[in-house]
Structure 1
Amino acid sequence: MKYKLGDFVRFVDEKMEGFITRIIDDQMIGVTGEDEFEIPVLASKVTLVHGYKPAGADAQQVTGNEPQTPQGEFKTKGVYLGVVADAKANSVVHFHLLNDTSFQLLITLTTDKQGFKGEYAGIVAPKTATKIYSAQLADLQLWPKFLLNILYYTTQNVEAPPPLTFSEKFKAKDFSGSKKNLPLINQQGWLIQVDEPELVIDAQKLKESFFKSPEEKVAIDKPQREVDLHIEKLRDDYQFLNSTEIQRIQMAHFNKALDAAIVHQLPDIVFIHGTGNGVLRHEIQKVLSKHPKVQTFMDALKEKFGYGATRVVLK
């Protein structure tokens, strides 16, 4: 199959054109025109319209000379997957690799659905994005598992992180949150951080904690039902903190309050994170989506908090 989702094609025997919105099998595709109706057609009965670049085409190619970043401004974190709907065919979504770091990234994307398939390989320059995959959002439950491998490279005197492997089978809850304006491509969509370290549990320390004497065990205070995570509520010296330190403090306070709510068997708890750029909200909801003690979460009462708070229902 030489075509892919999002390609703009023209019918050979009719005066019709549209976007490929479904790959039915090795011979049949679905094409959606301006009337928004999807028409099944043989792939041999259409031809690719050259010169058309769909939304999300590669933003920038790597040039021979790597831009030099001042040492103090060199950014080592910020690799994301951005998922946006096609501007002409809303049923199709495009996955973009967003490189908000100062490294060049050498990436490969492989999918695994009862067999491996290479989908993309290339270089993503610093502060740029590139489209690496397209899929039908309605077929989300049929999507394969994503296997993303990333190597970091720079000619500057900066130690590169170890190679990064990201493996994910996406679920509907990954796209249940509201869309946000994605960096680098300036489009509305969902943002998934790839270079966030996984939570590692020290089994030995966990085991030792069960055998502590009552004197050694620390009492955990019952948290309020509404926990305000605005930095000015947590620290008096917040004016002197950078954004990384602020987020670290906010996430530590969030995790502590969540653990306390679970220990005290609260039915639910509200975290007030504000709207801002949405980073804190995204980080909180990412933790909640994987937490075994969280039944569900949602925007808290909009009449009271707007979109600046998340209500968590505990098991």
Structure 2
Amino acid sequence: MNFKPGDKVRFLNTTGGGTVTKNINSFMVSVAIEDGFEIPTLTSELVIIEPSGTSDKMFTRAHEQVAPPKPVEPIADEYDRTSRIRTKPGQHPVPSGIYLAYVPHDQQWMMTGNLDIFLINHTDMDILYSFFLKDAEGKFSGIDYGSIEKSSKLALESIVREDIEQWSGGVVQILFHSDEGEKVLMPVSTTFRIKGTIFYKDGSYKECGLLDNQKAIMYTVCELNRIPSTVEHLLNEKEGLDSVPVSARQFVPESAIDRYRIAPREAEVDLHISALRDKYENLSPNEILTIQIGVFERMLENAMARNYTRVVFIHGVGNGTLKQALIDRLKDYGDIEFRNAPFAKYGNGAVEIVIHQNM
């Protein structure tokens, strides 16, 4: 939907509305609200209720004049691209941390149309960030860098669906800053990789309170409670102990797949529902299968991004429904090999996946 200065609009995800004053870029406009403030707003969060000039066309047609040329809009800076996170009471809490979000423009038809990509700072600290993409040849391109205030999100880019593969893998680096505090967090540098086929599965998109309950694919860059601080390093210096060299203190956040590691670059994931949930007695068979498939896809994607070479998924014997569902999804992945795990250890209840791209 194209917006023009003068269009009267309504906010889709909150009450109220206003008048478009200018186009910031292809996916964001400035909206003047009743109290006179102008708010940068994504076009995907607006609907036109009265196009510009509708109310006075009948009076001006006879006196039309050539309008003076519009001044060239300045290139959007970081303040144009950022907006505050607006959470609502009663929403499921999201752990404090940094997140990537892929938000479809069309919230009715998730698997078609353009997407907005956000870097979300869901912490009480400001951050400095660097964002890199990795191409098919393994080379990295620096796409963006800058700062994001606490409890805010930044629109990295709006992409067409055909560019998803280019935006599904890379590196994010984060530095945390607060004016005062009891500790200083270590820098974060982490890789990310999201399988392109996930964007074409309706169940991949979940409502997120950090995005006004819009549906999105969310990727956890890091959770705040998993990042160590420099406190231990400072205490060591005060007590005259040997300190750890700064070059060795860069923090790479623990990966979800690391919890299942059984050997260097190898993991074993038990998909029995009793291993995934403490309370599952009231779940239907379909709900259980959905949970198991979700864990399987997240752990496999994580293993591929974290340079694992081998993962065993224990599915059990049962009626074969889960095993077949795993095999069906594995067909979407290239450069991996899957087979029955060693019978002597797992019987017929596990599948072994070899990730050749990480060999």
TM-score, normalised by the number of residues in structure 2: 0.41
Larger Rg: 2
TM-score, normalised by the number of residues in structure 1: 0.46
Considering fraction of residues, name the structure with more helix.
Answer: 2
